Amino acid sequence: MKTIDIKITYLLPALTLMLAAGLFLAGCGSEAASSEDKSKKSPLVEVVSASQGEISKDIDITGEIVATREIRIQATVEGPVGFSPWREGDRVKKGEKLIEIDRPLYRSEVKEAEANLAVAESKLADLKAGTRPEEIAQTEQNVEYLQECAAFARKNLERVQELAEKGGVSGEALEKARLSFIECHTNLVSTREKLSKLKTGPTQTELAVQEAEVKKAEAALAKARAKLDETRIYAPFDGTITKVYVHPGDLATPQAPLLEMLDRSSLAVRFSVSERLISDIKPGMKAGIRLDAYSGRDFDAKIVRIYPELNRQSGTVPVEAEMTAPRELMPGMFARVSLSVQTAREAVLIPANALLSTSGDREAVFVVSDGKAEQREIRIGLEQGSRVQVLEGLKPGEKVVVAGMNSITDGTAVHTEEAKISEQKQEQDN
């Protein structure tokens, strides 16, 4: 009997401990099962907090590089080409000779006109300088000589007349004496007039006439030089030769093309914008340019010109943008243009994949608050990449569901996990 009592005494505490441990483990298992059941009933969704920032409405257009300053040089005179050393791609400076047409006749006419002008100017200079004293003295001597000559001729004429009346000389001798007297007298009268003019100097009329002769000679020289200048063509600006039509020895004809050239600094991006969007385009607006020739690189540009007329066939308006950083461009290069036509600052922004498909015109999202999902209608504005502007129905900081919305409805209890957006995607959206 003692042995049995002792065993019972030792076994009762052990059984009590085992029963307590079993009850504890059963209780823990019940709580774990309850937690697991609750997790199965509350769907896991990914959420993102509505942010506040800047968003723009972008339009993408294709265009091309064009030269806004290019010319085709044509001949105005006919003749063989004497100078044309150019090839496509050659660069020239403003004022550099491009073409010369060989016309020797035009050069001779210039020399003749220069000589005529020199003569007219010399005569005018003599008139303005007045008569030299030695010239007056020489003319006075001529007058004295002619006076003596006329006196002698008169006496000779009288003597021959007396002899002719008496029949001593023939009528021919009398006629010769008369002509000799007339000649001496005429020369005396003209020389006296010349002496008088030399002493009084040139009149205003004489000076005016000679000045007119000088102007006439100047005009003739200018005309001759203008004709010669038509044979020489100079570069109107710094540029690049793009097309060569003639070489030395070729015959140039009026209106025939000789060269084509363009100004590389005038290269711009030209594209066309639909008339429904043209009101959003303003001069000075920034643009992004991507060229196939510079793959993977974006360049900044700004709008510099909006054409004032609509293309009636395409319903578009040509627009030009100028790249802010100089590049080695060529006309005809293909360009992709990106324009931010509208910008909203301090806008409420959410990812586009948070939007729910609804039957109405308004959009909707699931907003998580106090562990429950609430379906809420919103009004959206601008869209850029994977971001959307919310105009009404949402405040910054509120959490919207971006994944897992197919398993929830309005009022569903959920547990959440913050969605991760890659930095690369954020940069693309910005």
- Condensed to tens digits (0 to 9), the pLDDT of residues 58-88 reads 888 999 999 999 999 999 999 999 999 999 9
| Angle subtended by helix axes 171-200 and 133-166, to nearest 10 | 160
User: Backbone phi, then psi, for 277, in 5-degree steps?
Assistant: -110, -10
Cα separation values, 45 from 65, 406, 417, 428, Å = 50, 10, 6, 25
As beta bridge partners, residue 23 has: none
Per-residue tokens: 428: 């693309």
State the average pLDDT for the chain: 84
pLDDT tens column, 175-230: 888 899 899 989 989 988 887 777 777 778 888 999 999 999 999 999 999 999 99
**What pLDDT score was predicted for residue 202?**
72
**pLDDT exceeds cutoff 80 at 271:** yes
**Highest mean pLDDT out of 24-28, 164-168, 284-288, 355-359:** 284-288
DSSP assigned state of 250? P
Q: Are strands 363-369 and 399-403 parallel, antiparallel or unpaired?
A: antiparallel
Query: Across residues 98-114, what is the average pLDDT?
Result: 95
Q: What are phi and psi of 331, to 5 degrees?
A: -60, 140
- In the numeric block, which tokens belong to residue 297? 């690189």
The closest alpha carbon to 343, from 298, 274, 288, 280, belongs to 280
pLDDT of residue 222: 96
In one-letter notation, the amino acid at residue 245 is: Y
Distance CA 166, CA 159 (A): 11
DSSP 395: -
More confident position, 19 or 144: 144
Query: Does 426 have pLDDT greater than 80?
Result: no
User: pLDDT at residue 366 above 90?
Assistant: yes
Q: Are 368 and 414 contacting, i.e. CB atoms less than 8 angstroms apart?
A: yes
Task: Give the whole-angstrom CA distance, residue 264 versus residue 268.
Answer: 9
CA distance 344 to 49: 19
pTM given for the model: 0.57
Give the tens place of pLDDT for each residue, 370-420. 889 999 989 888 888 888 999 988 999 999 999 988 888 888 998 888 877
Which residues are 367's β-sheet partners? 374, 400
Per the CB < 8 A criterion, the answer to whether 59 and 339 are in contact is yes
- Closest-CA residue to 49 (of 376, 351, 346, 345): 351
- Backbone CA torsion sign across 387, 391, 396, 400: negative
Residue 252 to residue 77: CA distance in whole angstroms = 7
Given this model, what pLDDT does residue 228 score?
94
Burial 208-241 (b: 16+ CB within 10 A, else e): eebeebbeebeebbeebeebbebbebebeeebbb
State the DSSP code for 357.
P
